[in-house]
Structure 1
């Protein structure tokens, strides 16, 4: 079969103005970036009737592949096959993983968003704008310290790192300000990847420019020598930072291979932040479409939980249906199968690993909305394996399950799944909060996530985390939701514990306030906010010829 980039390059794209007309987007609301990309000047305050919201999530990601984005896009194209007015809302890819180990991040096979090369590379410049705004704040902080430090900011307690949209382990820990008095004040610093920036989370949780500016003003940048908090508003630079993001806040409109409209906007790190596309993009999809299909980062224990508990309250809309993506291959890996032997039928491993799917389904059922399992079919799956998996979903879990193979066949392969999703969206269902934001303590919120979503027993706070919790409560921020920073590969904080472990404790090493984003980050395990490159980076296989034709981009 052709590579993803070859399929994308052979696609016949429709003009972005025609895609916009499908949704009823007016010409004056469209800012074109060439013929096939545009930003949309969307006004979320305009009176509209929202469509149905479908959230796609998955089991824990594995080396075997789950294809969550491919399923999301294929489901959108299936809605188009059924002549439904549908819009996708997806995250933008980060250049770090694109050049590192993931390759492209726009779906795969015949379920892709296009132009694939543009989206995976610089797109409309949103990530560059975020990087520039973030590092401008870093420069302003150090400049303030250099020129008298009126705020009495302790250089040892500056919490605002620098960022870059590249995987570069060398930059995790650095020293800045070397070179004498004219080169700044020496202090320890470091780089995160751009998607881990709080500005990225803020952009994705903002409803307007004014909301964006207010959130930026609340960013905690560090503490004074006498341990008092210092905010961006103390530097009076929230206006300057906001103007750098005036275009980045606008959702981007593109299309799938089958010309389904797709908003692609924002991409916060699903470990350290909430891992969902922007609220504005989801609101636009809801406003312009009868159905809006979005996805959350990583498995349901990370992205979907954060969508429900962090995004939905700000969106003021909960999903009408949740789709959990699973594959035979990934479940066999969870059941102990060798990752190099997943093409061989192994019902024993599948039966052992299926507990991972069970826990994800039960976790999503905590919220009271209909849950459907989408089995993403691989060519190597045997009929017996697929039959066992579907029977387990339908008879043991007692939820709807359907096979989808859009990677090979496009939207037509997801029509039956789409029909089931439409039926589920029409079912009356009350949303249940996992915890009460205002009344539950920070510990109670973490405990609810660990016990009800992860299936664990306890939380253990390090001495550092205990001190941080006391500081947070003393500052009056205990009402904020909790954003768990945890490995995506396991329900536990140990990436190697696959399946559905029981009787485990989540170890919290630190708690960090993200006041602009509006949540508390609970750091567990070893979470890297600046990834490194693998021994064979994807960049080694990429090239471009004199005609501008790209190869090797996944």
Structure 2
């Protein structure tokens, strides 16, 4: 069979009208707000009417630390959802929306791959239903209202040196990390230093993904702290009277998006906070809605389990009262060989010893996931270069740790290639074995929460921070924010803060460079190492290869 790119496979898909996908879940046509023929939003009224229904089983798909060799977490999420439906289960897939920055940069899209994709692929990876544009607009409206308030007399006595609210855009642009605004004279306001983050790092994104309804959304938006007065009192979006207008901009964005897999099964694609700089999960409202409509909901958490899964458990599940029934940990032979020291150019050669050495990364994630009291199964995402001996090495390693590693061929075969995984996942989820509990309690101090994640999940030897960080955490505790969970902003490539340190390092140091209070979202962000909240484009960005062909079709998107 000749090789076809993801976009070629997606373009050839036989899609069903979105009303038919809604019918599978019992959503009537009048409760769908169509965006064309193949995507729609689900009405707020329909979602409210689901409150008394029982919940299905929640399945988390996570992965080992990402490598250039590829892991396939989203592909496995979609393949598992299709496979569950193939074996007679009513399953719904829940994933995040794609950010334009990585699409035109290095990471690519977020719709799965091969024969396990969500479609329409081009729309999902570009403007989709406009949710990210709405989030960007709401965030920047607040930024504009801050500077406008100061310009017109500053009745709140905002200290321009202590404004913490930056601007955002949904693109990788390192030139905007640090900027000066209001240059050009008196009519343009008062010059000050600020900067941009990427939209997926915005607190507005996190709020939309954690809010339960429009009223909760407006309350959380109002709680956003944008800076401090000269008397060091916090200034909120509510103080600036921005929360109402921000909610109006986000009214439609709050409604979950319904699309379909290549096998015409329902998929909710909603929200998209990054996991290395935010909490990395799709929206609570989409997950909760799916749980009311399906017997099994398969969702993912971004990047490796040290980031995405940890935040899924400690932030999303804690805040939304969710209790996962099982976890799928995705690994590839290629990625394990890279963790075992093999260069990318040599990954096609059999190397069982490297697989065994790299499996330490897999083992660390298994241990961490088990610490949350949820049963684990390993999905080996198959590549054609994998040998029987290498696959057997992964399965033997997992077996020695007391978990099953199942070979999955969903990339090439769709849901049919993941049926064995689906049967095992359903068995685990139905067993009632899950005894989920977050890693730490609400009453632990903020610094101790940071220490707990760093030492128990990352296996750090110590966590460092200067006096200003400690003082800030203590001040937030005294102001009543000590009960909040922590959201670690850290490189996704390693358990440490060194992206080149693969495998399962121990005893390393985690430096906390800065802490930020996301009062509306309801967590404290700890920025560790050299992680950036505004990424840059690579030397050769994907944008150089993306274009329209002579038939007006998108090429180069992946």
Partner of 1:253: 258
Conserved 8 A contact 1:468-1:510:
no
Q: Of 309, 312, 320, which residue of structure 2 is paired with 1:307?
A: 312
Instruction: Determine the C-alpha separation between the residues in 1 that align with 2:474 and 2:212.
Output: 31
What corresponds to 2:29 in structure 1?
Answer: 27
Q: 2:200 aligns with which of 190, 195, 201?
A: 195
Q: Does 1:285 align with 2:290?
A: yes
Matched, 1:3 2:43: no
Give the counterpart of 1:403 among 407, 415, 418.
407
Does residue 509 (structure 1) correspond to residue 523 (structure 2)? The answer is: no
Is 2:364 aligned against 1:390? no
Match of 1:520, SS state, is strand
Aligned equivalent of 2:353: 348
Match of 2:322 in 1: 317
CA contact (8 A) 1:464 1:509 kept: no
Give the match's secondary structure for 2:238: helix
Say whether 1:105 aligns with 2:101: no
| Alpha-carbon separation, structure 2, partners of 1:270 and 1:229 | 27
The structural deviation recorded for 1:506 is 1.5
Runs of 4+ in 1 over 3 A off after TM superposition: none
Deviates more, 1:176-185 or 1:443-452: 443-452
Aligned to 2:453, which of 407, 428, 449?
449
Q: Match of 2:223?
A: 218
Structure 1: state its 5+ residue gaps.
none
Partner of 2:497: 493
Name the SS for the 1:119 alignment partner. Answer: helix
CA distance in 2, matches of 1:529, 1:314: 23
Cα separation, 1, equivalents of 2:421 and 2:192: 55
Give the TM-score taking structure 2 as reference length: 0.97
State whether residues 318 and 438 of structure 2, in contact with CA within 8 Å, keep that contact through their aligned partners in structure 1. no
Q: Distance in 2 between matches of 1:270 and 1:117?
A: 23
Q: Deviations over 1:476-523 (max 9, x none)?
A: 211100111111111111111110011122111122110000001111
Secondary structure in 1 matching 2:107: coil
**Does residue 80 of structure 2 align to residue 75 of structure 1?**
yes
State the partner residue of 1:518. 522
1:479 paired with 2:518, answer no
Comparing 457-466 and 172-181, the one that deviates more: 457-466
CA contact 2:178–2:195 (8 Å) conserved in 1? yes
Give the whole-Å Cα distance in 1 for the aligned partners of 2:65 and 2:26.
37
1:37 is matched with which residue? 39
Taking the aligned partners of 1:479 and 1:290, their CA distance within structure 2 comes to: 33
The structural deviation recorded for 1:546 is: 4.9
1:169-212 CA-to-partner distances (Å, cap 9, x unmatched) read 11111110011111111000111111111000000000000000
**CA distance in structure 1 between the aligned counterparts of 2:506 and 2:555, rounded to whole angstroms:** 45
2:94 equivalent in structure 1: 89
Q: Any idea what the Cα deviations from partners look like across 1:217-241, whole Å, max 9, x if unmatched?
A: 0001001122221111111111011
Residues in 2 aligned to 1:156 and 1:29: alpha-carbon distance in whole angstroms: 48
Paired position in structure 2 for 1:271: 276
Shift of 1:531: 0.9
Distance 1:12 1:368 in 2: 40
In 1: Cα distance, 2:310 partner to 2:80 partner: 21
SS of aligned partner of 2:484: coil
Q: Distance in 2 between matches of 1:385 and 1:513?
A: 45
SS at match of 1:233: coil
Quote the Cα distance in structure 1 between the aligned partners of 2:96 and 2:438. Answer: 25
**CA distance in 2 between partners of 1:432 and 1:118 (Å):** 37
Deviations 1:17-74 (A, max 9, x none): 0001111112222101111000001425621111010000000011111000001101
Residue 157 of structure 2 corresponds to residue 152 of structure 1:
yes
**Aligned residue number for residue 417 of structure 1:** 421
**What is residue 540 of structure 1 aligned with on the other side?**
544
Distance (Å, rounded) in 2 between the aligned partners of 1:473 and 1:12:
54
Aligned partners of 1:341 and 1:228: how far apart in 2?
58
Deviates more, 1:44-53 or 1:305-314: 44-53
User: TM-score with structure 1 length normalisation?
Assistant: 0.98
Paired with 2:35 and 2:515, the residues of 1 have a C-alpha distance of: 41
Q: Select between 478-487 and 446-455 the one with higher mean Cα deviation.
A: 446-455
Task: After superposition, give the CA deviation of every residue in 1:257-301 in whole Å (9 maximum; x if it has no partner).
Answer: 001100000001212211000001101111111110000011111
In the alignment, the residues of structure 1 paired with residue 218 and residue 53 of structure 2 have an alpha-carbon distance, to the nearest angstrom, of 25
The answer on whether the counterparts of 2:356 and 2:397 sit within 8 Å (CA) in structure 1 is no
> Partners of 1:135 and 1:464 in 2: how far apart?
28
Q: Supply the distance in 1 between the matched residues of 2:202 and 2:534 (Cα, whole angstroms).
A: 10
SS at match of 1:185: coil
Match of 2:183 in 1: 178
Deviation at 1:433, TM superposition (A): 2.5
Secondary structure, counterpart of 1:292 in structure 2: strand
Matches of 1:475 and 1:485, distance apart in 2: 23
1:381 aligned onto 2:386? yes
How far has the Cα of 1:375 moved from its partner?
0.6
Count of aligned pairs between the two proteins: 552
Does 1:527 find its partner at 2:545? Answer: no
Tell me the CA shift for residue 315 of structure 1. Answer: 2.2
